[in-house]
Structure 1
Amino acid sequence: MQSSTKIGIERLPLIWILRIEDFGADVQWSRQDLSTGSFCVTMNVKLLKYHAYSRWFGRPSWNASYLFGRACRRLKPGDIVIDAGANLGEITSALAKTGSTVHAFEPDPYTFERLRKNVGAFKNVHLYQQALADQSGTAKLYRSREFSSDPDFWSQSSSLYADKSNISKDDYTEVEQLSIVDFVRELGSPVRILKIDVEGAEVPMLESILSCGLMNKIDMIFAETHEKKIPQLAERTRALREAIKRDWANKINLDWH
């Protein structure tokens, strides 16, 4: 059985008071407590330690996962979310269960059929056999060298970049691309979460989003970067991180994994 304790609010560091919700704590007070300016916080000590460690001392991807989970818990029916690089639908399914309207993009023909089988029953999920990208058109989608040995697993490595270190330049399929800027503008409603896991194409997508002033239509972006496997994107990724740290640190997280 997990233990809990009561801590006087005056004994808590200021950052804990301001972000107490982040730790999953139950904040309880009475009218009398408020009138005296003091109240107690009942919290699960183990939960507090876990979140404090994950948030400030863990890997960046741990914090990104935590923030993504928190954003998902705040979704409600009717909210719009986008899953760019939906793959087999694990994240799409989790988003759909919140009741929000999910737009899921997966360009690979094989993977798209697996995605449709996994999440097609959700009435609030819209599936697109397209690559959400910085511009509309067609492109080559390159598959992993190991794709034929285990398509379900290696489908997550497919990329629009022929220079990605773990793909085969000889194994590709022509796919449709759809401009992220055009798509979001045509939705006509704010996007609560945009998750991007597109094996390199996140860089031009994010550059396009920022240059077109699209962040006023998107609440949160969670993206994974791939400069280690696509060295040609290293400098552009570094520049993106600097711009995001300066202007959009509370809205864009590049440590999704």
Structure 2
Amino acid sequence: MTMNVKLLKYHAYSRWFGRPSWNASYLFGRACRRLKPGDIVIDAGANLGEITSALAKTGSTVHAFEPDPYTFERLRKNVGAFKNVHLYQQALADQSGTAKLYRSREFSSDPDFWSQSSSLYADKSNISKDDYTEVEQLSIVDFVRELGSPVRILKIDVEGAEVPMLESILSCGLMNKIDMIFAETHEKKIPQLAERTRALREAIKRDWANKINLDWH
């Protein structure tokens, strides 16, 4: 089954009116076109489900994670009819447990739009430290290992939590179970992650440049 790759790219790369790198756009589109029914993909930070929906239309089995209660209900409404989509009201992260999910200062004015800014990091520049909800976290390492099958695509858009998640994936040797990772980094809005992000980029460039792309946006 084919999918609307143009629509997928629009939602994936035009958020916040930005433009992706040519390389990220090409590689993501190519990876999606290669998906077959039954292939496993993970959408970490599914938000309202635009990417989840497009991936589901390939016939692949999609595991979509969205921790925010409001956003999760919108996600369920948008993609719940797909029998090949599994929804989790959890934050896929470096470790299991509970955490505070902070929302944008503008969340109440347009929840659908500003929900994409929610972060586990209280120091993210555009969130409110006073508006948060307690959410469950699930370890990415534990989840992938329990799947028992290769993950064809892992898409990560989790507003800062991508750094510890990727660090965990690399340190635990999980890349032998994942074909491709596409992630967005947020060090510009979370300066405390700048050095760790730089080190992560260097490690990926050295060892995993053909499997991990950090230019999702």
TM-score (normalised: structure 2): 0.91
CA contact (8 A) 2:3 2:57 kept: no
Structure 2 gap segments, 5+ residues each: none
Q: Give the structure, 1 or 2, with the largest relative contact order (CA under 8 Å, sep 6 or more).
A: 2
Counterpart-to-counterpart distance in 2, 1:84 and 1:56: 19
Matching residue of 1:55: 15
CA drift at 1:63 = 2.0
**8 Å Cα contact 1:54/1:62 also seen in 2:** no
The structural deviation recorded for 1:59 is 6.7
Instruction: Confirm or deny: 8 A CA contact 1:83 1:103 kept in the other structure.
Output: yes
Query: Can you give the 5+ residue segments of structure 1 that lack an aligned partner in the other structure?
Result: 1-40
After the TM superposition, which parts of structure 1 deviate over 3 Å for at least 4 consecutive aligned residues? Answer: 41-60
Q: Give the corresponding residue for 2:47.
A: 87
Cα distance, 1:247–1:159 mapped onto 2, change above 3 Å? same
Identity rate of aligned residues, in percent? Answer: 100
Say if 2:13 and 2:20, in contact at 8 Å, map to a contact too: no
Distance 2:190 2:120 in 1: 11
Equivalent in the alignment of 2:212: 252
Question: Which of the pair has more CA radius of gyration?
Answer: 1
Q: CA shift at 1:64, angstroms?
A: 0.8
Contact conserved, 1:136 with 1:177, CA < 8 A, in 2? yes
Do the aligned partners of residues 151 and 60 (structure 1) sit closer, same or farther apart at CA in structure 2, a change above 3 Å counting? closer
SS in 1 for 2:59: coil
Secondary structure, counterpart of 2:74 in structure 1: helix
Change in CA separation of 1:43 and 1:232 when aligned onto 2, cut-off 3 Å: closer
Give the TM-score taking structure 1 as reference length.
Answer: 0.77
1:128 offset after TM fit, Å? 0.1
SS at match of 2:209: coil
Q: How big is the shift at 1:62? A: 3.1
Change (3 A) 1:171 1:67: same
Q: 1:245 to 1:234 in 2, by over 3 A?
A: same
After superposition, the Cα gap between the structure-2 partners of 1:53 and 1:156, relative to the gap in structure 1 and judged at 3 Å, is closer
Deviation at 1:60, TM superposition (A): 5.5
- What are the Cα deviations for residues 53-88 of structure 1, in whole angstroms up to 9, with x where unaligned? 999999763321221111000000010000000000
**Cα distance in structure 2, aligned partners of 1:131 and 1:156:** 13
Q: CA RMSD in A?
A: 5.2
1:55 touches 1:62 (CA, 8 Å); kept in 2?
A: no
Q: Secondary structure at the match of 2:28?
A: helix
Alpha carbons 2:97, 2:137 under 8 Å: kept? yes
